[in-house]
Amino acid sequence: MTTEPDQPAPSAPTGASLRRGPFIEGERVQLTDPKGRLHTITLVPGKQFHTHRGHLLHDDLIGSPDGSTVTNTAGVEYLALRPLLSDYVMSMPRGAAVVYPKDAGQIVTFADVFPGATVVEAGVGSGALSMSLLRAVGDSGRVLSFERRDDFAQIARGNAREFFGVDHPAWTVTVGDLVETLPDAVEDGSVDRVVLDMLAPWECLDVVADALVPGGVLICYVATATQLSRVAEAARDHGGFTEPEAWESMVRGWHLEGLAVRPQHRMHGHTGFLITTRRLAPGVTPPLRKRRPAKGYVDVSDIESPTAEDFGERPVSDKKVRKLARSLGDQSKL
């Protein structure tokens, strides 16, 4: 495709200029030492980076291309790279737990966050997820973030400013509870996507339903199975959402060294669960589910001592257990 010569070149999206070109004063650089250890420094003219084995000058890095190496006074060589967003969120200051990059990727993809979208997010915490959402909506979109705690909102704003180089034009952070502040902040039926990362997302479903466009996506990130169950039941009880879907993702890194190509010994075994549902058009009730609840289904919150069957486990007959016991007894005689 050719560009019309008389058309002005589109201005670079916010933050793009900081992703390219030589290292400049004030930016963060990630140094990897020969043992693979990471050190993140902010480049300041005249400053030195010290370890117990020598030091290097920040001035040796300022003006060097991304992906350079630099050698310190003890002859230790470091690889210098500009941190990716995923590196940045793992090393930035944080008040609350952040959404890990693997989950942020899932949220952006499965909530179908598109350029130009209007996205509501709560809570903001340290701003990790906000940055992924801002990148996905771009300068023409809107991310309206809500956070109860002013101190967390300030940390998040500082983190995002450092990453994008400016206050992102698509971002608004409102300090307050989502339930109290969202109705005044947006027109009913005007929000494309809602992302909730908080302890009690089920408390927000009414205001979220009012804010979402028909067909809009709600995605919640929760840490425990009990929260997951509660959001799912609340979405069903609300009646204005599609049948929720839930999943978790596990990422297992691989060790790549010579013939030792295998999974790494350590991994993040659990971060959180994702649950998503879509807003039905006003007045529409969810179609009846084809699959009926399991026989014996009851709402476990209504009973004091739930049994295995209440949790959907298939009953095992005494006859089957006796048969199994006999067969094991027979085997032990062999």
Ligand X SMILES: C[S@@+](CC[C@H](N)C(=O)[O-])C[C@H]1O[C@@H](n2cnc3c(N)ncnc32)[C@H](O)[C@@H]1O
Residues in the site for ligand X, rule: CB under 6 A?
96-99, 122-123, 125-129, 146-149, 152, 177-179, 197-199
- In the bound complex, what is the minimum distance in angstroms from residue 120's beta carbon to ligand X? 11
Phi/psi at 186 (nearest 5 deg)? -135, 155
**Nearest residue (CB) to ligand X, 41 versus 122:** 122
**Nearest residue (CB) to ligand X, 147 versus 210:** 147
**Nearest residue (CB) to ligand X, 130 versus 242:** 130
DSSP string, 136-173: HH-TTSEEEEEES-HHHHHHHHHHHHHHHSS--TTEEE
- In the bound complex, what is the minimum distance in angstroms from residue 160's beta carbon to ligand X? 10
C-beta neighbour count of 25 within 10 angstroms? 13
Distance in angstroms between the alpha carbons of the first and the last residue of the chain: 77
CA-based R_g, the chain, Å = 26
- 23 is written with which tokens? 């290292």
- In the bound complex, what is the minimum distance in angstroms from residue 135's beta carbon to ligand X? 13
Region of residue 103 (left: phi > 0; alpha: psi -120 to 50; beta: else)? alpha
CB-closest chain residue to ligand X: 123
Half-sphere exposure of 160 (CA within 13 A, CB side): 28
- In the bound complex, what is the minimum distance in angstroms from residue 81's beta carbon to ligand X? 23
- In the bound complex, what is the minimum distance in angstroms from residue 29's beta carbon to ligand X? 23
Exposure string of 167-200, with b = 16+ CB inside 10 Å and e = fewer, is: ebebbebbbbbbbebbeebbeeeebbbbbbbbee
Omega within 30 of 0 (cis) for the link into 123? yes
**Nearest residue (CB) to ligand X, 56 versus 104:** 104
**Nearest residue (CB) to ligand X, 76 versus 96:** 96
**Nearest residue (CB) to ligand X, 58 versus 135:** 135
Is 161 exposed, middle or buried (CB count within 10 Å of its CB: 0-12, 13-18, 19+)? middle
Per the CB < 8 A criterion, the answer to whether 135 and 85 are in contact is yes
Per the CB < 8 A criterion, the answer to whether 164 and 156 are in contact is no
Alpha helix (H) residue ranges in the chain:
58-61, 85-91, 101-110, 128-137, 150-164, 178-185, 205-211, 225-238, 318-333
- 15 is written with which tokens? 């933050």
- In the bound complex, what is the minimum distance in angstroms from residue 324's beta carbon to ligand X? 46
- In the bound complex, what is the minimum distance in angstroms from residue 178's beta carbon to ligand X? 4
- In the bound complex, what is the minimum distance in angstroms from residue 219's beta carbon to ligand X? 12
**Nearest residue (CB) to ligand X, 153 versus 280:** 153
For tokens 């996205």, the residue is 119
**Nearest residue (CB) to ligand X, 132 versus 277:** 132
**Nearest residue (CB) to ligand X, 78 versus 163:** 163
- In the bound complex, what is the minimum distance in angstroms from residue 222's beta carbon to ligand X? 10
